[in-house]
């Protein structure tokens, strides 16, 4: 019984350690990532290029923080709606995979 309680406490502590964070950046695609859309330019705008890259190259939407970090996003449908835009993402980061488990994505103010 003692081991069961300790195990439950350890699991609870692990889940509590993964707290929600707020990230800001632009929704882009993994092919363009940090490099920008100028080399691919599969559409007249960044949004169109991102959408085309995801659909035509079987890519995924990502969040680029504008400096150096690129994060995968668990919610691809919400990301598509805001492709090419600056956004605020609230979620939990898996540091190993650099994936944000998305709770919400909204256009940045």
Residue-wise pLDDT for 60-93, tens only, equals 999 999 888 999 999 999 999 999 999 999 999 9
54 touches 18 (CB < 8 A): no
Extract the tokens encoding 2.
């003692």
pTM confidence score = 0.76
* Residue 97 in this model has a pLDDT that exceeds 90: yes
CATH code for residues 19-107: 2.40.50
What does the pLDDT average to over 50-69?
90
Beta strand residue intervals within 1-109, DSSP E:
21-29, 61-64, 70-73, 86-94, 99-107
* CA nearest to 54, candidates 18, 91, 80: 80
Q: How far apart are CA 72 and CA 100, in angstroms?
A: 6
For the chain, give every domain's residue range.
Answer: 19-107
């Amino acid at each position: 019984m003692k081991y069961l309680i300790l195990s439950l406490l350890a699991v609870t502590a692990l889940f509590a350690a993964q707290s929600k964070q707020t990230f800001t950046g632009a929704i882009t695609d993994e092919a363009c990532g940090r490099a920008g859309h100028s080399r691919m330019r599969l559409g007249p705008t960044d949004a169109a290029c991102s959408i085309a890259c995801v659909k035509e190259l079987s890519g995924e939407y990502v969040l680029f923080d504008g400096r150096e970090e690129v994060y995968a996003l668990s919610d691809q449908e919400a990301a598509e709606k805001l492709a090419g835009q600056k956004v605020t993402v609230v979620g939990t980061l898996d540091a190993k995979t650099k994936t944000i488990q998305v709770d919400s994505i909204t256009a940045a103010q």
